[in-house]
Amino acid sequence: MQKNKNGIEKGVLLPRPSSNETQFFDEEWSDEDFKNIIRKLNLKVTPQRMIILNCLHKNRKHITAQELFEKVQKLNEDIGFATVYRFLKDLALGHAVTEVRMGGMPARYELTPKKHHDHMTCTECGRIVEFQNKSIEQHQEKVAEQFGFKLTHHVLELYGICPSCQTHE
């Protein structure tokens, strides 16, 4: 993957339901990966959970529990929505999915990527750019060290106006 002088890796451009241009990193996940995720949480592998994880992976990122439930139902009419909620909660507890909450909106979930990335969101159009930046993470480690903390994870969300919204207004 290309890298620029600032150490930023650019995400690939994936198609998306909305008209907003959105840059996402793509990743491969196998059924074996999903089974390992479930077992690592000390949970049982069930067809429901496999379907839920597959839907999480195949559909748009940052999906709500309700949206995910609807996708899942198309594959198996009999899966209840309590199952989806419950499993998402378990996954979030074990950091297998990342939960993002904005305002009073329902929570949105995405499979925690193998390669960590952060988000930059356009507050005008909602376009999301994923990025990686080693320097920022090194400085985070320094902060933690300074206070004697052992870092486990972080959330970094940048907000601003994207190029196209700066132009069109």
Partner DNA sequence: TTTGCAAATGATAATCATTCTCATTAAATT
Partner DNA sequence: AATTTAATGAGAATGATTATCATTTGCAAA
Helices (H), 5-147: 31-40, 47-58, 65-75, 81-93, 134-147
Encoding tokens for residue 62? 């940052």
Q: Which of 11, 17, 6, 7 is nearest to 113 (CA)?
A: 11
Q: Residue 1 interacts with its own copies (CB under 8 A)?
A: no
Q: Residue 78 interacts with DNA (CB under 7 A)?
A: yes
Encoding tokens for residue 143? 């902060």
Q: Residue 86 interacts with DNA (CB under 7 A)?
A: yes
What sign for the dihedral angle of Cα 93, 114, 62, 153?
positive
Residue 126 contact partner, candidates DNA, its own copies, none, CB within 5 to 8 A by sort of partner: none
Round to the nearest angstrom and report the end-to-end CA distance of the chain.
Answer: 33
Q: Which one, 45 or 156, has the nearer CB to DNA? A: 45
**Residue among 18, 46, 138, 166 that touches DNA (CB under 7 A):** 46
Instruction: Name the site residues for its own copies (rule: CB under 8 A).
Output: 4, 6, 8, 23, 92, 99, 101, 103, 120, 122-123, 129, 131, 133, 135-136, 139-140, 142-144, 146-163, 166
Instruction: Name the site residues for DNA (rule: CB under 7 A).
Output: 43-49, 64-66, 76, 78-83, 85-87, 89, 101, 103-104, 106-107
